[in-house]
Amino acid sequence: MSETATQDIKVIVFQLKDEEYGVEVEQVRSIERVQHITRVPSTPDFVEGVINLRGVVTPIIDLRKRFSIEKNSHSDATRVIIVTVGAMEVGLVVDAANDVIDIPRESVEPPPEVVGGVEAEYIRGVAKLEKRLLILLNLDKVLNPKELEEIKEIEGNK
């Protein structure tokens, strides 16, 4: 493996409102079109519900709600990014999943307190690319331990 390859981070780029975000490819299982989401009572507001993804009941989280970004209706571009958080898979509803890119590690800076309405605790860093900034999410912080337990219960009630 070349030295530059070890210094790059491969990320999936997606959009929420007017901002671009990235998650590391290693944490992404698949990218799906939005399908029927079954609402589950007594779950946090940002949990849309569950989907049946190839026979597996998968909890779905609306990142717009999670980050207190104004909600919009789903479009043809809306996608669900299936990611691994802890020991489970969850789906993240995003406005669009645009690209897979390699980011040089040295272009990633620590997060400011708030970026695009998203609190710093959810952000791993901000990548300065040629003509844009890319907010890199820390998926392990998007859900706190209590929320992870609640979502595990949804998974367990299949």
CB atoms within 10 A of CB 8: 15
Label each residue of 21-69 as H, E or C.
EEEEHHHEEEEEECCCCECCCCCCCCEEEEEEECCEEEEEEEHHHHCCC
Q: What pTM does this model have? A: 0.85
Cα gap 141→123, rounded to integer Å: 8
**In CATH, what number does 3-156 get?**
2.40.50.180
Q: What is the CA radius of gyration of the chain?
A: 16
Q: List the pLDDT tens digit at each of the 158 positions of the chain.
A: 444 455 899 999 999 988 899 999 999 999 999 999 999 888 888 899 999 999 989 999 999 988 888 888 888 899 999 998 878 899 999 999 989 999 999 999 988 776 555 667 788 899 998 888 899 998 888 887 778 887 777 766 54
What six digits make up the tokens of 33?
Answer: 């079109």
